[in-house]
A and B are shown apart, each in its own frame.
Chain A
Amino acid sequence: MRTIHTDIITKTIRDMCIEANLHLSPDMERVIKEATKTEDGPLGKQIMEQLCENLKIAEEEQIPICQDTGMAIVFVTVGQDVHVEGGSLAEAIHEGVRQGYTDGYLRKSVVRDPLIRENTNDNTPAIIHYTIVPGDTFELLLAPKGFGSENMSRIFMLKPADGEEGVKTSVIQAVKDAGPNACPPMVVGVGLGGDFETCAILAKKALTRDLDSPSPLPHIRKLEEELLRELNQLGIGPGGFGGKTTVLAVNMETYPTHIAGMPLAVNICCHVNRHVKRTL
C-alpha cells in the first residue's frame, strides 16, 4: 500500500492549472505551427500567424493564452493500493483549483447554480472523473475547458444501422454547426459507444490524447484520418473566414456498447486545447 498526502495533490493541481493556461503541449503547438505554414486562405493565414504570436506572448509575458481559462476538468486514475491521507481527495483537488486560479490570475468562470448564476469567485468546483485501476499508480490529468467550444458540442444517439457513415455525417454536422462560434481551427474529440454519459466522457478524454498517438485500433485510426481530411474540406478555416485549416486533429475513443445502440459524442475544443498530466 502506498500513501499520498492531500497536500501534494493540492499543490500539484494548483501548478497544473497555471501551467495549462500559459503553455500548450508540444503536440498542440506543433500542429498550430504546421497549419500556419500551409494555410492559404488570405484572412485564415493572418489569423494563424496571430495565434502563433499569441502563444509567444502568453509564454513570454505569462498571460493566459485565452481569457476563458475554463472550467477545470480533472481525470484521476488511482490505483486500488493507494491510500489518500489528510482529508477528502475531492476537496484536495478543489483546493488546488482554488489556489491555481487565484495565484495564477486565471479567470473565475464558474457559477454555483445554473439558474441563479452567482460566481463562486474561485473557479471551483472542478469536474472530477475517477478511474480505479490495479496497483499503486496515481495520475492526475487536468484539462481546463473553455465554453465557446463546449457549447457547440453534441450527442447523437445513433443506431447500429447508421454505421461508419452515420458517425461521419454526425461529426461533420457538429463541426459545420460549430463554425466560427467554436474558434476554429478546432480539435474534435469523439466518443463512440458505451451509453449516453459514457460517450460524452470518452469524447472529453479523447481531447486530451497526445496528437502524435493516433488510435491503436486500425479501423478507428482510419476513421480519424478520413474525418480530419473531410472536415478540412468544409472550408470553414481559421476564425471561420475560409481556409483549409478547420480542424487540427480528430481523436476518437471507443467503448463496448449495447446491441441496440451506437451513442456518439462530439466534444469540440478550440485551438487552445489545454491539458497537463502528472504522475505522483
Chain B
Amino acid sequence: MEKHISGPITKEEIQSLHAGDYVYITGTVYTARDAAHKRMYEAITEGKEPPFDLTDQIIYYLGPSPAKAGQVIGSAGPTTSSRMDKYAPLLMEHGLSGMIGKGKRSPEVLQAMQKHTCVYFAAVGGAGALLSKCIKKAEIIAYEDLGTEAIRRLEVENLPVIVVADAEGNNLYETAVDDYKRTHHFN
C-alpha cells in the first residue's frame, strides 16, 4: 500500500504503517552512521544529552558523497543498518521513532522497536543519485569533524522507502522471499 508520512513521525502514524507498505517521507530526517552512532551512544551512557532531541525523529543511515557547487548533497543512498544494531535500542529508549537503511536487523533491535513503537524502513541500496533528488536541504548539526559521517539535518520531499519492520513485529525480509517463491512456484 502507498502512503505519505511526515518526519518527525508520530506514534499514531507509526501504528498505521505495516511491513510491505511503500511510503513517501516528507519533512525532517537526520543522518547518522557508524561513527556518529558510537559518539551518541557514548554521550548518552555518560549521562550527556544527544546532539539533537531524538523524540519522534527518523534517522537515515547515510554518509553522502560531497555536494558540488549548486547541489544540496551528493549521492545519498542508505548504508547497511546492522552495523548500527548495537546502538539503536538505546536511541529508541531516548525517543528515536524511525530508521532508514538497508538489510537485516538484530532480534534486539526488532524487540526494542515493538517496545518503543518504532518503524524500520529500507531505501533502495545503490540508488544514491536518484535518492539525492528528494533531499531539498542539508545542514551539518553535529560532529562536523567526522566528515561524511557527521550528523546532518535533511529536509526531504517524497523520499521513497519501504516498511521492512513495523511496530507489531512484522518483518518483510522474513516473508517476502517465501511469498515470492510460493507464488512463482519455485519450491
Contact = CB atoms under 8 A, between A and B. Distances in A.
A158 interface: no
Given A105-B67, A121-B147, A234-B177, A47 B124 contact: yes
Interface in A52-68: 53-55, 57-58, 61-68
Given A41-B176, A61-B129, 4 more contacts: A64-B128, A65-B126, A66-B126, A105-B68
A272 B126 contact: yes
A64 B180 contact: no
Interface stretch (A5-13, A106-114, A203-211): A106-114
Interface string A59-95: 0011111111100000000000000000000000000
Interface residues of B, number: 47
B98 interface: no
Nearest to A106: B65
A107 to B, nearest CB: 4
Contacts of B82: 181
B114 interface: no
Contact of B80 (A117, A181, A239): A181
Interface stretch (B4-12, B47-55, B71-79): B71-79
Nearest to A181: B103
A44 B184 CA distance: 13
Contacts of A68: 63, 77, 79, 128
Contact of A107 (B63, B68, B181, B186): B63
Given A235-B177, A240-B177, A63 B126 contact: no
A193 interface: no
Interface of A: 40-41, 43-44, 46-47, 50-51, 53-55, 57-58, 61-69, 105-109, 117, 119, 121, 146, 148, 151, 179-183, 233-237, 239-244, 270-272
Interface of B: 20, 22, 35, 62-68, 71, 74-77, 79-80, 82, 102-104, 122, 124-130, 132-133, 146-149, 160, 162, 172-173, 176-181, 184, 186
A270 B80 CA distance: 12
Contact of B74 (A64, A151, A235): A64
Given A64-B75, A67-B74, A105-B65, A180 B180 contact: no
A50 B124 contact: yes
A43 B65 contact: no
A107 B129 CA distance: 13
A241 to B, nearest CB: 5
B176 A240 contact: yes
Contacts, number: 157
Contacts of B126: 51, 54, 65-66, 146, 183, 270-272
Interface centre among A51, A117, A235 (most CB of B within 10 A): A235
B104 A181 contact: yes
A239 B176 CA distance: 11
B177 A181 contact: no
A233 B186 contact: yes
Contacts of A240: 103, 122, 173, 176-177
A233 B75 CA distance: 32
A67 B65 contact: yes
Nearest to B66: A105
Contacts of B102: 148, 180-181, 183, 239
Contact of A57 (B133, B176, B179): B133
Contact of B147 (A44, A119, A151, A182): A119
Contacts of B71: 63
A107 B65 contact: yes
B65 A69 contact: yes
Nearest to B34: A117
User: Top 10 closest A-B pairs, CB basis?
Assistant: A242-B180, A183-B125, A181-B103, A67-B75, A54-B130, A242-B176, A63-B129, A64-B75, A58-B129, A107-B65
A108 B124 CA distance: 21
B148 A108 contact: yes
Nearest to A243: B180
Contacts of B173: 179-180, 240-241
